[in-house]
């Protein structure tokens, strides 16, 4: 027979057996003679899929990413006497084997596979022959990908809008008061494996953090135990996780359950677990169980009894065992059971998803939606895994080299073959170019051998191979093998530039991507499944390939290889985003631990209404009898604010009215001592919770109350939310409401000449317990130029009126229209638009200028030039005609990184000030300037400039975000100091020296930012800030320090000073006690060219003595 008809292994075996003594003919003659007499062994070849092919397959319509792959087999040397004794044995992905026949199947079959990289082995065996080791099997490696146009499971919509999917907050504790009231910590028992896998590592990080969370009273809030089912060798260390847990003083319980032989025989071998779980499910208590059945679960019951929460990792192939644990935990009296599915799977639901578990804990919103849409009745709680954040370490980008890497298990669902194929294409493109391109695979798994061989066949030079030796001169593909979890991130940091995530299946999260982004590496992915938690199409911090194909992946890799600057930007954007910066999601271990803490406490702690929350926070550590029996006024006389607040909180349910709520809100605010201690409260403190409750109490009293009381409650809510931080848009809404309450546009009628400002103080009077009365003011805010209960003077300077006329004309030119309520108020005066209102102001300015001695400083009453033509001005003067209030940003508003902050801190410590250029993001700069240019909030007339303040319309969500971020970004300069005031100054005067004269502020730190574009500044050095390295004399009162500029100037005339030039988006940060003044300004004389600065003053100090001279002069 022709040698071609024999398989290579058959020919080799035959030649090896060719032993003929005393050969006189050439050896090949005897071999051929022998082979001609040996009957050929039947064998098989795979005709389709072709070797190394990428195939689409036919969608089976189930939505499970299963495709039918055409499989064509060719049989050779089948016996002449029939082949009903032959069978085809297959093995897929080095996993399970399957037998087809006898008789032999047709030559064309359909193989159902899920999307991914697959390795198929097929061999012919005799019916009675063992399967063997597949050493002589026909093989093919192929990648199964979606056909063009096929949808893949990728999250594109709003990740918060799925019923039954919740996300515990990760920034602070949600049930701190409940944790403080409990007599013992919440006990959590976690069940899992002692090997260092993904789920066990997350459990380890819980163990490192949760036991250190303390209550307000400094008590331990949580205790953790770990439980593991093992064979009956209780003293054996079963994995590397155990010593790590024991080093943390975390109890490790190892239990063993065994079903007695008589029950195995009774229930039937192979059905014991199902039968056991059914018996447990039918029982209502442990006493319902037979003694032998109870004995099976007793070791486990001993571990979980007394726990508040039992949480276990659920695997698809362990569902029945896990059901037994769930039912045993229920019978042991554990009130809350959590299931953490280890992955996503089809066909069955996780254990407990039928409603028996309290929640499914999933790593992504996608995973939660996946289970809910497939019938899970149990709610899903999203707790993304975390990473050890640490500082951001910037690495230089090498433009002459790029290193791509795949990180993950070499398993079919990860589609590592797509990476190998794209690498071969990219390597071929750069093979003869100066750019050094290389590739690496970090990981191991069942597909390692076929992947090494695939890489070699595609022309890559394999290094580190276990099955393929290094040879050839192609681009390097290094197989690093399995690495310790702690070593993976270091390898990514030190060895890779780009991480490629080639999965096209439903990914739960992919922590490898996040760790790569944390190290500032560019990530290329198809964006499937839970990847959408941190990376979506169009994002600037990574690449999501739109089409899941080798071509699409190759194109992306070529782009990122070609552009080293883009590669650097991707990494620079990614690192802060996974740390919760630049609008990203905090994916750190610390955030993860807080989310778990809130998940656990949310299950254990009952829901509390606002009245109960008020009692919780006010009455901690307070003598209840004192709070109930003593008059709150008497307690206040002794500075016992918490006790007074506790007493009022207890009265609230039976005496609910707006004044009582205002009183409680005031008492809670005073009890925190925030104003006296001058700092913003830290997260997870009683003081912060008190401020939030005080704001909520004030909000709850707003409906159906009088105008003056509504103003007081609104002011309290605005102030407390601003001091508490973390709710900037909610605080801004109250500031805006307060502004509109205090400064509405008036009806334009002749009755305005007798208009009196209403009183919005809304004082609270309370008996002091000694026959006297305490008076508590609603707010410490000054009323600016609105003096209540007397006819308004309608006072203004001609310069202020001209500015208003220019502003209204500018608004009209940009397309702004009057609000309907303003149009309605001005209708009696026949003013219908901004142009007509601008004309009214220009006329009023001319009339007032005729009797004024100085247009910028001589404020006169419009009554002195009274005429009906003035009525539109009276109706709108110092009123909210137009307000632009930008909301907070999803991304960062203040762009100060750790390096800039360190330099700023060093400068501040050396010379008491620092200068930061580009401090605000482009979005923040644009919209803050738009706010101060457009909003009609410039009421405080000064010499050549106008002032606008926090309470008078500038407290937007964006501004409050900037306030908070300066504190966070400059922790050693601003830090937790609370905001005392924010203001804007606009310089519209005709003279260059009409800026702010030498003075000092009463705060601790001032941040001054310039918003006007540099193109409007006509002279170098114009409009800057002069800061003297000296304070005012200790004997000078604050009022004099702000008004007697001549005395202040004389005091500092010999002091060292720093002149800081004006630049748009330059922020000057200095000690508020330092004397400072505006340098002469020469700006264009058009409305939108006016010099505008935004100033934020933090903290209050004894400003006359807090300043200490710097050892260095500037």
pLDDT tens digits, one per residue of 375-389: 999 999 999 999 998
Quote the CA–CA distance of 543 and 516 in Å, as a whole number: 13
**83 close to 47: Cβ distance less than 8 angstroms:** no
Note the pLDDT of residue 629: 72
Instruction: Count Cβ atoms within 10 A of the Cβ of residue 92 and give its class: 0-12 exposed, 13-18 middle, 19 or more buried.
Output: middle
Mean pLDDT of the chain: 87
Note the pLDDT of residue 838: 97
Quote the CA–CA distance of 1104 and 1099 in Å, as a whole number: 14
For the segment 418-436, the average pLDDT, to the nearest whole number, is 96
How far CA 132 is from CA of 125, 527, 1002, in Å, comes to 9, 41, 87
780: CB partners within 8 A, 6+ apart:
675, 719
Least confident of 121-130, 308-317, 419-428, 766-775: 766-775
Quote the CA–CA distance of 75 and 82 in Å, as a whole number: 13
496: CB partners within 8 A, 6+ apart:
403, 404, 405, 440, 516, 521
For the segment 812-827, the average pLDDT, to the nearest whole number, is 96
For the segment 527-542, the average pLDDT, to the nearest whole number, is 91
Comparing C-alpha atoms, which of 477, 398, 495 is closest to residue 439?
Answer: 477
Which H or E element spans position 310?
Answer: strand 309-314
Q: Please identify which residue in the block is written with the tokens 């008061």.
A: 177
Would you say residue 637 has pLDDT above 90?
no
Three state DSSP letters for 602-659 = HHHCCCCCHHHHHHHHHCCCCCHHHHHHCCHHHHHHCCCHHHHHHHHHHHHHHCCCHH
How is 69-122 classified by DSSP, letter by letter? EEEEEEEES--TT--TTEEEEEEETTS-EEEE-SSPPPSEEEEEEESEEEEEEE
Q: Could you tell me what percent of the chain has a pLDDT over 90?
A: 61
Alpha helices for 656-797 (secondary structure H): 658-671, 674-677, 686-700, 707-724, 728-742
Quote the CA–CA distance of 223 and 251 in Å, as a whole number: 10
Alpha helices for 896-997 (secondary structure H): 898-911, 922-934, 957-969
User: How many alpha carbons lie under 13 Å from residue 115 in its C-beta half-sphere?
Assistant: 25
pLDDT band at 1113 (very low <50, low <70, confident <90, very high): very low
**824 close to 744: Cβ distance less than 8 angstroms:** no
Residue-level length of the chain? 1114
pLDDT band at 1103 (very low <50, low <70, confident <90, very high): very low
How far CA 849 is from CA of 791, 802, 879, 946, 989, in Å, comes to 23, 10, 22, 17, 14
Note the pLDDT of residue 434: 94
Would you say residue 872 has pLDDT above 70?
yes
Residue, of 1010 and 274, whose pLDDT is higher: 1010
pLDDT band at 1112 (very low <50, low <70, confident <90, very high): very low
Instruction: Count Cβ atoms within 10 A of the Cβ of residue 541 and give its class: 0-12 exposed, 13-18 middle, 19 or more buried.
Output: buried
For the segment 526-542, the average pLDDT, to the nearest whole number, is 91
Burial 253-274 (b: 16+ CB within 10 A, else e): bbbebebeeebeeebeeeebbe
Note the pLDDT of residue 233: 55
How is 129-175 classified by DSSP, letter by letter? S----STT-EEEEEEE-PPTT----B--S-TT--TTEE---SSS-S-
Beta bridge pairs of residue 114: 66
Distance spanning both ends of the chain, measured CA to CA: 99
Quote the CA–CA distance of 669 and 678 in Å, as a whole number: 13
For the segment 154-164, the average pLDDT, to the nearest whole number, is 69
**Radius of gyration, CA atoms only, the chain:** 38
How far CA 195 is from CA of 207, 234, 237, in Å, comes to 15, 16, 11
Which H or E element spans position 300?
Answer: helix 291-304
List, as own/partner pairs, every contact residues 8-17 make where C-beta atoms lie below 8 angstroms and the sequence separation is at least 24, other chains included. Answer: 9/135, 9/136, 10/40, 10/41, 10/43, 11/35, 14/38
For the segment 1026-1038, the average pLDDT, to the nearest whole number, is 82
Three state DSSP letters for 853-899 = CCCCCCCEEHHHHCCHHHHHHHHHCCCCCCCCCCCCCCCCCECCCHH
**238 close to 232: Cβ distance less than 8 angstroms:** no
Would you say residue 46 has pLDDT above 90?
yes
Note the pLDDT of residue 325: 92
Q: What are phi and psi of 930, to 5 degrees?
A: -60, -40
Residues 213-245 have pLDDT tens digits of 999 989 999 999 999 887 655 555 567 888 899
pLDDT band at 1004 (very low <50, low <70, confident <90, very high): very high
Note the pLDDT of residue 349: 93
Would you say residue 156 has pLDDT above 90?
no
Quote the CA–CA distance of 828 and 875 in Å, as a whole number: 11
Quote the CA–CA distance of 506 and 509 in Å, as a whole number: 9
729: CB partners within 8 A, 6+ apart:
887, 888, 957
Least confident of 354-363, 774-783, 820-829, 967-976: 774-783
**638 close to 400: Cβ distance less than 8 angstroms:** no
Q: Please identify which residue in the block is written with the tokens 């229209």.
A: 817
DSSP classification of residue 1021: T
Would you say residue 260 has pLDDT above 80?
yes
Least confident of 315-329, 484-498, 506-520, 944-958: 315-329
Comparing C-alpha atoms, which of 834, 855, 1011 is closest to residue 933?
Answer: 1011
Burial 279-302 (b: 16+ CB within 10 A, else e): bbeebeebeebeeebbebbbbbbe
Token pair recorded at residue 908: 């501040």
Residues 12-30 have pLDDT tens digits of 544 444 444 444 455 555 5
**524 close to 498: Cβ distance less than 8 angstroms:** yes
Q: Please identify which residue in the block is written with the tokens 């940060």.
A: 1069
Quote the CA–CA distance of 1018 and 878 in Å, as a whole number: 31
For CA atoms 666, 667, 672, 675, give the dihedral sign: positive
How far CA 307 is from CA of 211, 331, 333, 362, 1013, in Å, comes to 15, 12, 8, 22, 63
Beta bridge pairs of residue 791: 756
3-state helix, strand, coil in the chain (%, to 5): 40, 20, 40
Note the pLDDT of residue 4: 47
Would you say residue 714 has pLDDT above 50?
yes
**598 close to 175: Cβ distance less than 8 angstroms:** yes
Residue, of 359 and 711, whose pLDDT is higher: 359
Note the pLDDT of residue 908: 96
Least confident of 182-186, 229-233, 549-553, 889-893: 229-233
Residues 669-693 have pLDDT tens digits of 989 988 877 888 988 899 999 999 9
849: CB partners within 8 A, 6+ apart:
798, 855
Quote the CA–CA distance of 427 and 461 in Å, as a whole number: 10
Q: What SS3 class is residue 468?
A: coil
Residues 619-634 have pLDDT tens digits of 988 877 767 777 777 8
Q: What are phi and psi of 38, to 5 degrees?
A: -90, 130
Note the pLDDT of residue 235: 57
For the segment 989-1000, the average pLDDT, to the nearest whole number, is 78
User: How many alpha carbons lie under 13 Å from residue 628 in its C-beta half-sphere?
Assistant: 4
- Specify whether the backbone of 516 is left (phi greater than 0), alpha (psi in -120 to 50) or beta: alpha
Comparing C-alpha atoms, which of 345, 342, 375 is closest to residue 361?
Answer: 342
pTM to 2 decimal places:
0.84
How far CA 960 is from CA of 727, 730, 936, 966, in Å, comes to 9, 10, 19, 10
Least confident of 492-506, 708-722, 728-742: 708-722
């Amino acid at each position: 027979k022709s040698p071609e008809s024999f398989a290579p292994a058959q020919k080799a075996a035959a030649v090896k057996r060719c032993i003929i003594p005393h050969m006189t003919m050439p050896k090949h003659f005897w071999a051929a003679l022998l082979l001609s007499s040996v009957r050929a062994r039947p064998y098989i070849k795979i005709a389709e899929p072709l070797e190394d092919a990428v195939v689409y397959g036919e969608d089976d319509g189930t939505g499970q990413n299963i495709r039918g792959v055409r499989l064509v087999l060719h049989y050779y040397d089948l016996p002449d006497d029939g082949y009903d004794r032959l069978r085809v044995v297959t093995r897929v992905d080095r996993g399970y084997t399957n037998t087809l026949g006898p008789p032999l199947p047709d030559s064309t079959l359909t193989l159902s596979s899920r999307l991914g990289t697959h390795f198929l082995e097929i061999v012919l065996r005799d019916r009675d022959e063992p399967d063997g080791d597949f050493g002589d099997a026909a093989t093919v490696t192929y990648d199964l990908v979606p056909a063009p146009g096929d949808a893949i499971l990728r999250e594109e919509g709003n990740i918060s809008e799925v019923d039954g999917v919740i996300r515990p907050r990760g920034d602070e504790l949600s049930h701190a008061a409940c944790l403080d009231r409990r007599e013992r910590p919440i006990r959590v028992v976690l069940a899992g494996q002692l090997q260092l896998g993904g789920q066990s590592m997350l459990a380890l990080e819980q163990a490192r953090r949760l036991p250190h969370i303390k209550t307000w009273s400094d008590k331990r809030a949580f205790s953790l135990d770990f439980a593991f089912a093992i064979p009956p060798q209780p003293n054996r260390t079963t994995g590397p996780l155990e010593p790590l847990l024991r080093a943390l003083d975390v109890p490790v319980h190892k239990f063993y359950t065994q079903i007695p032989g008589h029950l195995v025989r009774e229930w039937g071998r192979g059905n014991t677990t199902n039968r056991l779980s059914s018996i447990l499910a039918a029982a209502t208590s442990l006493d319902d169980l037979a003694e032998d059945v109870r004995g099976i679960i007793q070791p486990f019951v001993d571990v979980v009894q007394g726990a508040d929460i039992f949480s276990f990792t659920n695997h698809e192939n362990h569902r029945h065992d896990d059901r037994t644990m769930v039912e045993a935990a229920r019978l042991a009296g554990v009130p809350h059971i959590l299931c953490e599915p280890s992955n996503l799977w089809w066909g069955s639901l996780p254990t407990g998803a039928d409603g028996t578990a309290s929640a499914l804990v999933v790593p992504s919103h996608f995973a939660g939606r996946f289970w809910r849409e497939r019938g899970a009745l149990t709610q899903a709680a999203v707790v993304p895994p975390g990473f050890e954040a640490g500082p951001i370490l910037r690495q230089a980008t090498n433009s002459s080299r790029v290193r791509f890497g795949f990180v993950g298990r070499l398993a079919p669902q990860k589609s590592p073959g797509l990476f190998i194929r794209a690498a071969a294409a990219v390597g071929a493109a750069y093979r003869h170019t100066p750019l050094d391109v290389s590739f690496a695979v970090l990981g191991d798994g069942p597909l390692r051998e076929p992947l090494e061989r695939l890489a070699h066949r595609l022309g890559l030079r394999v290094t580190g191979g276990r099955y393929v030796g290094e040879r050839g001169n192609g681009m390097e593909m290094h197989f690093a093998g399995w690495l310790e979890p702690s070593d993976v991130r270091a390898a990514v940091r030190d060895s890779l530039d780009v991480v490629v995530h080639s999965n096209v299946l439903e990914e739960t999260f992919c922590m490898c991507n996040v760790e790569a982004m944390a190290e500032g590496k560019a990530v290329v992915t198809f964006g499937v499944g839970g990847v959408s938690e941190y990376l979506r199409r169009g994002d600037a911090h990574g690449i999501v390939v739109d089409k899941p194909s080798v071509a699409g992946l190759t194109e992306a890799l070529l782009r990122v290889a070609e552009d080293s600057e883009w590669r650097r930007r991707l990494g620079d954007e990614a690192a802060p985003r996974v740390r919760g910066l630049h609008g990203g999601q905090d994916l750190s271990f610390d955030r993860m631990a807080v989310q778990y803490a809130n998940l656990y406490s949310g299950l254990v702690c009952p829901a509390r209404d606002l009245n109960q929350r008020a009692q919780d926070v006010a009455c901690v550590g307070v003598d209840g009898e004192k709070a109930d029996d003593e008059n709150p006024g008497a307690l206040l006389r002794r500075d016992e604010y918490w006790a007074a607040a506790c007493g009022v909180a207890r009265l609230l349910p039976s005496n609910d009215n707006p004044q009582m709520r205002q009183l409680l809100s005031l008492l809670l605010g005073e009890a925190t001592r925030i104003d006296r201690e001058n700092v913003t409260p830290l997260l997870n403190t009683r003081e912060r919770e008190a401020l939030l409750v005080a704001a909520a109490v004030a909000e709850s009293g707003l409906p159906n109350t009088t105008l003056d009381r509504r103003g007081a409650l609104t002011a309290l809510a605005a102030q407390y939310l601003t001091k508490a931080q973390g709710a900037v848009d909610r605080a801004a809404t109250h500031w805006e409401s307060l502004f509109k309450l205090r400064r509405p546009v008036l009806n334009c009628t002749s009755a305005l000449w007798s208009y009196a400002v209403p009183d919005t103080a809304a004082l609270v009077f309370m008996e002091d317990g000694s026959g006297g009365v305490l008076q508590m003011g609603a707010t410490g805010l000054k009323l600016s130029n609105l003096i209540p209960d007397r006819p308004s003077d309608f006072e203004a300077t001609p310069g202020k009126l001209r500015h208003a006329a220019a502003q209204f004309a500018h608004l009209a030119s940009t397309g702004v229209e009057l609000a309907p309520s303003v149009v309605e108020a001005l209708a009696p005066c026949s003013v219908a638009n901004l142009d007509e209102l601008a004309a009214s102001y220009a006329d009023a300015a001319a009339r007032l200028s005729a009797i004024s001695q100085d247009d910028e400083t001589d404020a006169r009453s419009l009554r002195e030039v009274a005429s009906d033509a003035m009525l539109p001005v009276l109706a709108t003067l110092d009123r909210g005609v137009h307000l632009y209030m930008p909301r907070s940003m999803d991304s960062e508003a203040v762009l100060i990184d750790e390096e800039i902050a360190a330099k700023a801190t060093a400068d501040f410590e050396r010379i008491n000030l620092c200068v930061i250029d580009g401090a605000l993001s482009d979005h923040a700069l644009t919209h803050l300037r738009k706010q101060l240019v457009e909003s009609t909030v410039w009421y405080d007339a000064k010499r050549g400039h106008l002032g606008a303040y926090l309470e008078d319309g500038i407290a937007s969500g964006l501004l409050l975000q900037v306030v908070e971020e300066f504190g966070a970004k400059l922790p050693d300069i601003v830090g937790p100091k609370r905001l005392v005031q924010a203001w804007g100054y606009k310089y519209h005067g005709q003279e260059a020296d009409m800026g702010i004269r030498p003075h000092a502020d009463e705060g601790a730190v001032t941040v001054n930012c310039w918003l006007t574009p540099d193109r409007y500044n006509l002279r170098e050095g114009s409009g800057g800030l002069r800061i003297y390295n000296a304070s005012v004399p200790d004997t000078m009162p604050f009022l004099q320090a702000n008004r007697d500029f001549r005395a202040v100037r004389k005091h500092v005339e010999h002091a060292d000073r720093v002149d800081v030039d004006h630049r748009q988006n330059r922020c000057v940060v200095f000690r508020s006690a330092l004397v400072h003044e505006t340098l002469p300004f020469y700006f264009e004389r058009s409305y939108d060219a006016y010099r505008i600065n935004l100033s934020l003053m933090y903290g209050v100090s004894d400003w006359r003595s807090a300043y200490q001279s710097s050892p260095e002069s500037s």
